[in-house]
Amino acid sequence: MTDFTTIKKIGYRQAFKAITVGLVIAYIIMALMAGPFWLFQVDFAPTILFAAIIIYIAGYFFGGLTSIWISKQSRLAILFGIIGGFLIVWTATFFGSLIGFMKEGLPNNSEISEPIHDYIYKPLGLVTIFGMLPIIIVGIWFGLSIRKKVDNI
């Protein structure tokens, strides 16, 4: 059997490819709704750029983990690819949301549950709802590509 270092490397390389495809899909979806330069016209562009960096960091960790799962249970590659995709996106969304929460939610003199809802739960819910189909599609490709590469070593 191959060592886990090689298997993890396959996972995060495939995760980086899947993340790049996912970010392009997300940008196109938003460009169709808000125009091609939407990222530069909104107040939360730094938050989105921070989340884009975090998503690659999450891809490094969860991509490696997903490839280990797939190496142990090859027949569940599609399921593990989808789960890994959701974990990567949720991690980036959560950490990206923390910027708005700390910058605007905490200084607000309302109850703590309101900013948590507005700046953490709501973004996670919206990303889950609107990103579900792309995450599933890219997750299937992610899982199958890892399985193919792991089976070849």
pLDDT in tens, 36-45: 777 777 677 7
Number of domains in the chain: 1
Q: By residue range, what is the domain housing residue 11?
A: 4-152
Q: Which of 138, 100, 143 is nearest to 122 (CA)?
A: 100
Of 50-54, 108-112, 121-125, which range is least confident? 108-112
CA distance 137 to 6: 25
- What predicted TM-score, i.e. pTM, was given to this entire model? 0.87
Q: Which of 153, 135, 149, 141 is nearest to 23 (CA)?
A: 135
Check residue 35 and give left, alpha or beta (phi > 0: left; psi -120 to 50: alpha).
left
Alpha helices in 2-152 (DSSP H): 4-34, 45-72, 77-100, 113-116, 122-152
For 6, 16, 51, 55, 145, the CA distances from 59, given in Å and listed in that order, are 16, 6, 12, 6, 15
Of residues 38 and 49, more confidence is placed in 49
